[in-house]
Structure 1
């Protein structure tokens, strides 16, 4: 693809610099810190030997997520949701998305009756926090499941594949990959793609911020998302191997 006047100077099909540091939360069964450009999210997996009431005696496990942002993760201080007494609609929507994304690649029957909760806490936000949360949470979940295998709680790894997420958008009429905040706030359209390494689609969230976008433009975004997630899958695997 040709060069573009992106604020970061990146090519249209370039991810931000991505790093996944495994084992960042020392007490969690599995964890990592994921950095995507200026966005940093701490992902920690916690294991409990119980399931929600609707799954008791079903033989199936549960994977769920909670998401939050530190007060100064953004340019101005945000109130702690605990202090307000309730979560925002955005927070609830994102943590449900993370949970759905992870359950899409978990064999819950092989997991057995236990719950794994992924806490995704945004330390620094510069766009794409939900995508970074999903991508990092898969690493934390993988490491937690491997811990359970070492403890002889599980005999096999109950993962059916990898899941990662990336944002794409139309900025200045051009399709670009992995929007940072400067691009996200001025995009003509943006979308979040949650994809599996087997080529499956878990979820696509797309919105026209100005004029409606076309099917060919959506196809351009989808091509970029596949390219970006292929790179993210490799970085995930490297993080798990490094742990």
Structure 2
């Protein structure tokens, strides 16, 4: 069945990453995936969590928020409610794990890189867009303190994308909110430039799914991640791409 926006089943929504979106963070981008828009910022702090003090090792942590006006119905700020939702905590862990999977925490000393992902407009795939955009902001931030001849802490690329089985039964890549809210199966895939999976979060919302369907979804997810990683390289440009994975 044809998708509402007439995309092919294996086609990403129009995407764009705007670098240097904010003045003050060490790295920042605005990522757009269709109508989803997320500001991703990376800030460097000269401290680490208590369990890393004295180890000489750094850390990456992520915070995620959905602005009240980001959806069709205004949502209350979590700060007003006095607690984070389980969904927010899950997304923050996904972003942090994805970035740490391609990061050498020993190469930054006892520093923490804080990743802030703020959704200013949501139309599905906000967590995966956050991973993809945050990676670019992370590389920007690391370039501000990298010394020539040293180890660049970002070892590989990483991106993420949503896939799912639509209500009509067709597997599809990069679901918008309308597709996602009615999906039979919903899945998020995060993958490195080397082709290794970091996260595969899949749920049978309407029914269980078969191994054959899982394979189809993974294939779509891999294709989408590879395309986004290629775009990340274009956005970063030759100098920063050359730094990723560099050891001396």
TM-score bracket for this pair, using the shorter chain length: over 0.9
Spell out the pairing of 1:1-243 with structure 2 (5 A cutoff).
4-149=1-146, 152=147, 155-171=150-166, 172-241=168-237
CA-CA distance at 1:199 after TM superposition: 1.1
**Preserved contact between residue 175 and residue 221 of structure 1 (Cα < 8 Å):** yes
- Cα distance in 2 between the residues matched to 1:111 and 1:199: 25
> Could you list the per-position Cα deviations for residues 139-184 of structure 1 after superposition, in whole angstroms to 9, with x for gaps in the alignment?
00000001112xx499331111011100001111111000000100
TM score, norm. by length of structure 2? 0.93
TM score, norm. by length of structure 1? 0.95
- Cα distance in 2 between the residues matched to 1:154 and 1:8: 48
RMSD: 1.4
Q: How many residues align?
A: 238
- Cα distance in 1 between the residues matched to 2:159 and 2:82: 31
Unaligned stretches of 5+ residues in structure 1: none
**Preserved contact between residue 148 and residue 154 of structure 1 (Cα < 8 Å):** no
> Could you list the per-position Cα deviations for residues 42-100 of structure 1 after superposition, in whole angstroms to 9, with x for gaps in the alignment?
00000011111100111111001000011010110000111111111111110111011
- Cα distance in 2 between the residues matched to 1:80 and 1:239: 32
For the residue of structure 2 that corresponds to 1:9, the secondary structure is: coil
CA-CA distance at 1:190 after TM superposition: 1.1
- Cα distance in 2 between the residues matched to 1:110 and 1:49: 14
Runs of 4+ in 1 over 2 A off after TM superposition: 152-156
